[in-house]
Structure 1
Amino acid sequence: MTLTNLLTEQAELILAHKIVSSEQVRTIEPKAAQIAGCSMFELMQRAGEAAFKALKQAWPNAMNIIVVAGNGNNAGDGYVLAKLAKQQGINVVVICEKPERELIGDAKQAQLEWQQQGGETQQFAELDYTQFDVVVDALLGTGVTGEVKPAFQAVIQQINRANIPVLSIDLPSGMFANTGQALPLCIDADVTITFIATKPGLVSGIGKEFCGKLIFADLGVGKEFFDIARSRAQLVDWSMLQSLQSRPVHGHKGSFGKLLCIGGNQGMAGAIRLSAEAALRCGVGLVKVYCHESSSISISAGRPEIMLTHKELEAALDWCSCIVVGPGLGQDNWAHQQFSSLFEYLKHHPKPLVIDADGLNLLAAMKDKAAVQNTLARLPALVLTPHPGEASRLLNCNIAKIESDRYLSSQHIAQKYQSVCVLKGAGTIIQMQELHQVRGCFVCKGGNPGMATAGMGDLLTGVVGAFLAQGFTSQKAAVYGVCAHAEAGDRVAIQYGQRGMIASDLLQPLRAIVNGL
């Protein structure tokens, strides 16, 4: 399983979707430019031009802009933009820490050309930013890894308080490019234009919020860069995936999987009902729910296609070809009993498994870690779908630690539990693992804040389980499941808006999506 064999050929060629660490970009960028016959100063000019084009597209009527420049190459990009804006009759103010300081390297040349254009540079000060139409953030680039110095923190605070549009160049200043974390403050941009390659921190977690709308420009050296660079991850959405195969004409309900969903403790029938119904809408032939006796009526009401049982778990496990466990399971004695019985069964009868919600909490709490890992290692497919809170329990740390590096956290879960890990959130990460070696990951482009509501995770569990039950590998089931779920949420948001979206709204769009509609 590789990062690209799930994608269409066209999707594989889109450089904007390839995620590369900031260290690789800094190291390989000069080599790529040299191969392409482009000087580093010409590359800086292209960056400034691309940023100016992005500014004009986003704010075509902007006539007063302020460029906040730092001391490195990011500032050079800003000076190029300022020169271009001034040439087009836009009022431009450039501010920096020390106007008398000469920059070095290519940034010095960009600074000199700005000055030769008649441009002036002022010192950082308490400005009334509201007199400008747009702030151009050219303060800090990808080289920042430690805490931003106080003078720059003060400027970042002023910009964020000003409440006017911000264009960030390469990444929002104050962000750690590889994780998206603030150091400790970060520009809250409306638009970010990033160059050469997409950095990991821009597309997942809090970093995705900081950067606003993300624009990519390869500056004409993308092919040369990716001939050398090693992509860390791949952005993906439903439109990029290979189409689902047609179903055989002679197929029957048994041909398309038998999924058992375990959960639905007292008072929590809705969670497992959502998982089961989502699985049906995504094409599983047969779905059975094993639940607490008190939940039976609530689960079956209005959906007679869902089979039910609350007795003889082992018989239900014998019946199924794939298992989902966790939604609405709880953590009381009944839940512990079902989860323990499931693991005892899997020791002798390995089957594809998706674990979510309280299933993850119970997994984290199991005492005999060696026995657990031995059982999990024998499963033909395993997908864990934690949100950051559940991930923190799986790794025995706090949520802040998980969110400080979502890529590393998902990698650790995939390795520890010998699974595919779906770390949910803005820019959900699908981390691959096989034979103790992480093979790479996908980051979902889709989804929206309207999906932050009860039951969405339970729905996703059913979607992933559906693909797994129909014979997909754990990697493919996770990628297709996450992308189909996100696409459904985005379709609902387009039609009705984000506020008020509920999980069951996604059921009909899911059906259309898996049918290529």
Structure 2
Amino acid sequence: MSQRSLKAELSEQRLSQNLYTAQCVREGELEAAKQMSIPLYEVMQVAGETLFDWIQTHFDHQTNILVAVGTGNNGGDGYVAASLLLADGYRVSLASVDPARQLSGDALLAQQSWLANGGEVADIRLVDTEHFELIVDGLLGTGLSGAVSSSYQSVIQRINQSSAHKLSIDIPSGLDANTGVTLGACVNADTTITFVGIKTGLVTGNGKQRCGNLIFKQLNIGESFAHLMKARARLIEYTDFAPLASRALNSHKGNNGKLLCIGGNNGMAGAIRMTAEAAMRTGAGLVKVYCHANSSSSIVQGRPEIMASSENLLQMLEWADCIVFGPGLGQTSWSQETFNQLFSYLIHQDKPLIIDADGLNLLSHQLHALNLSYLIMSPHSAEAARLLDTSIESVENDRYAAATKLVENYGGNCILKGAGSIVHSQVATYVCANGNPGMSTAGMGDVLSGVLGSLAAQGMTAPEASLFGTCIHSAAADLVADNFGQRGMIASDLFDYLRQLVNRK
């Protein structure tokens, strides 16, 4: 199968869709089918046809295909797809975790159709998975609660060890559909085709990794379902945003935003330098840096447009329209003194604040709301864990809950960074569809802080800046990866692409 064709298919899919909990999808599927007078078995048949169509597009008839099924409706989808493959002349085998078990409902109807067409149900424990080039995973669905049983775990491990392409039906077996956590064992899918509504756990953290290429298909009830059910969150990408408005012909630097970036402790000048330059490349009119005395010369070297000083913080705060606090700040006595000065000022002067890095680590000792009308926090999972006085594992086990709790505790808006960054405010939750593993490198968060500060200084609201800034930052990294690859990407590679994206017509 061509990797290029997979990439093309993914890019053609519009993944900017509503995200739902598993329970919501199950309940909504029933209600939508009822309102449309469509039997659920017909929905299952459409799901099987969708799987068949994808396989037919990507694999030829000489491919050895194994359809691995469980005893629920995911298995039913697998039976339907296997029947269509068999009828079309594919080399398809079907194996069950529990072939002797009596099925019920629509899954039974699908199994009976498979058997009536000459298919057989093998015991998957006796099947050599290395014999196949494609394994269709229909073992477990969204109804899974608790750890995967030992019999399923052993099958999942064997599937993962296979070199075959792994196509998961609706969700990789063993994945928590709501959080993306692995429930003991989980199929590492290369492709996941999810139906009716995208489940929240498929697009962030561990779930994003486990799904591989995610494809969404509404089936024949999707539109009705979308009208009936309320989304938990929304998946969004850079191309969903309209281009930024053109500037007035008589604009000047003073009305394009005055941003103060605070950080750059002794020996840590690079972080705040990248923040400042990112802010300028995304349109801030004037950028100043307050830093340690030993850092100012290295910050302005090679970028004279940045104004850096280690004196008169109060005057710089008065000058600024917006403040970025944290990149390269450290946690020394100088850091703490700077923290105290800033927050003493903000008690009396409510100005937009973007806080990241060691600014968040110092904030974690406060554990109370900041009471600012404009606040954006952008922690990664370790910083979020400190802010919530919990473990990194706890944060990653439910990234949605962690982002919600951060906003409840501190107010404002939260960007929980990582694969599928979550952007949460008091009114809505989004997941960024842009981004790639090449971003796992030093300085990426510092650049994001600069982007957020620039947009805030130019007049965007906190929810707007959080959402647009996260997407444009990740989209710039995607452009770097497309042109040069993911490995070797560094944070400053994003600057030219950020500039292109904010000037998109």
Find 1:458's aligned residue among 443, 446, 458. Answer: 446
**Residue type matched to 1:304 in 2?**
P
Note if contact 1:62-1:134 (Cα within 8 Å) is conserved in structure 2.
no
Find 2:461's aligned residue among 444, 450, 473. Answer: 473
2: CA distance, partners of 1:189 / 1:58: 15
Map residues 190-205 of structure 1 onto 2, 5 A cutoff.
Answer: 190-205=190-205
Secondary structure of the structure 2 residue equivalent to 1:480: helix
CA drift of 1:312 comes to 1.1
- CA deviations over 1:435-493 (Å, ceiling 9, x no partner): xxxx2211000110011100001000100111111111110000110011011000010
1:420 maps to what in 2? 413
Note if contact 2:300-2:306 (Cα within 8 Å) is conserved in structure 1.
yes
1: CA distance, partners of 2:135 / 2:54: 13
2: CA distance, partners of 1:323 / 1:224: 45
Map residues 74-93 of structure 1 onto 2, 5 A cutoff.
Answer: 74-93=74-93
2:263 maps to what in 1? 263
CA drift of 1:60 comes to 4.0
1:382 maps to what in 2? 375
CA drift of 1:125 comes to 1.3
1:73 maps onto 2:61 in alignment: no
**Residue type matched to 1:465 in 2?**
G
1: CA distance, partners of 2:132 / 2:15: 34
Secondary structure of the structure 2 residue equivalent to 1:390: helix
Map residues 352-371 of structure 1 onto 2, 5 A cutoff.
Answer: 352-366=352-366, 369=367
Secondary structure of the structure 2 residue equivalent to 1:227: helix
Residues 388 and 484 of structure 1: CA distance in aligned 2, closer, same or farther (over 3 Å): same
Secondary structure of the structure 1 residue equivalent to 2:228: coil
Deviates more, 1:242-251 or 1:383-392: 242-251
1:509 maps to what in 2? 497
Map residues 150-161 of structure 1 onto 2, 5 A cutoff.
Answer: 150-161=150-161
Structure 1: which 5+ residue stretches go unaligned? 1-12, 434-438
CA drift of 1:126 comes to 4.5
Note if contact 1:16-1:197 (Cα within 8 Å) is conserved in structure 2.
no
Secondary structure of the structure 1 residue equivalent to 2:65: strand
CA drift of 1:313 comes to 0.6
**Residue type matched to 1:97 in 2?**
V
**Residue type matched to 1:505 in 2?**
D
Secondary structure of the structure 2 residue equivalent to 1:293: coil
Deviates more, 1:348-357 or 1:46-55: 46-55
- CA deviations over 1:7-66 (Å, ceiling 9, x no partner): xxxxxx968611011100101101111223321000000001111222233334652111
Note if contact 1:28-1:225 (Cα within 8 Å) is conserved in structure 2.
yes
2: CA distance, partners of 1:469 / 1:166: 47
Secondary structure of the structure 2 residue equivalent to 1:125: helix
CA drift of 1:101 comes to 2.4
2:113 maps to what in 1? 113
CA drift of 1:250 comes to 1.4
**Residue type matched to 1:197 in 2?**
G
1:244 maps to what in 2? 244
1:488 maps to what in 2? 476
CA drift of 1:354 comes to 0.3
Map residues 309-328 of structure 1 onto 2, 5 A cutoff.
Answer: 309-328=309-328
**Residue type matched to 2:172 in 1?**
P
- Normalised TM-score (structure 2): 0.96
2: CA distance, partners of 1:482 / 1:58: 33
Find 2:488's aligned residue among 500, 507, 512. Answer: 500
1: CA distance, partners of 2:320 / 2:58: 53
2: CA distance, partners of 1:61 / 1:515: 47
**Residue type matched to 2:435 in 1?**
G
Residues 501 and 15 of structure 1: CA distance in aligned 2, closer, same or farther (over 3 Å): closer
2: CA distance, partners of 1:106 / 1:15: 29
2: CA distance, partners of 1:211 / 1:85: 23
Note if contact 1:54-1:193 (Cα within 8 Å) is conserved in structure 2.
no
**Residue type matched to 1:398 in 2?**
S
1: CA distance, partners of 2:422 / 2:59: 32
- CA deviations over 1:328-387 (Å, ceiling 9, x no partner): 000000000001100000000110000000000000013xx45xx2xx21x231000000
1:173 maps to what in 2? 173
Secondary structure of the structure 2 residue equivalent to 1:189: coil
2:399 maps to what in 1? 406
Note if contact 1:16-1:216 (Cα within 8 Å) is conserved in structure 2.
no
Residues 62 and 136 of structure 1: CA distance in aligned 2, closer, same or farther (over 3 Å): farther
1:208 maps onto 2:196 in alignment: no
Note if contact 2:356-2:449 (Cα within 8 Å) is conserved in structure 1.
yes
1:232 maps to what in 2? 232
Secondary structure of the structure 2 residue equivalent to 1:323: strand
2:148 maps to what in 1? 148
**Residue type matched to 2:179 in 1?**
T
**Residue type matched to 1:27 in 2?**
E
The ranges of structure 1 where at least 4 consecutive aligned residues each deviate by more than 4 angstroms after the TM superposition are 13-16
2: CA distance, partners of 1:396 / 1:508: 38
**Residue type matched to 1:492 in 2?**
V
RMSD of equivalent CA atoms: 1.3
Deviates more, 1:34-43 or 1:55-64: 55-64
- Normalised TM-score (structure 1): 0.94
Note if contact 2:146-2:183 (Cα within 8 Å) is conserved in structure 1.
yes
Residues 405 and 62 of structure 1: CA distance in aligned 2, closer, same or farther (over 3 Å): farther
2: CA distance, partners of 1:456 / 1:36: 48
Note if contact 2:300-2:308 (Cα within 8 Å) is conserved in structure 1.
yes
Note if contact 1:62-1:133 (Cα within 8 Å) is conserved in structure 2.
no
- CA deviations over 1:163-205 (Å, ceiling 9, x no partner): 2210000000000000011111100000000000000110000
Note if contact 1:414-1:421 (Cα within 8 Å) is conserved in structure 2.
yes
In the alignment of these two chains, the number of paired residues is 493
1:396 maps onto 2:389 in alignment: yes
2: CA distance, partners of 1:47 / 1:342: 56
2:51 maps to what in 1? 51
Note if contact 1:350-1:380 (Cα within 8 Å) is conserved in structure 2.
yes
Map residues 423-442 of structure 1 onto 2, 5 A cutoff.
Answer: 423-433=416-426, 439-442=427-430
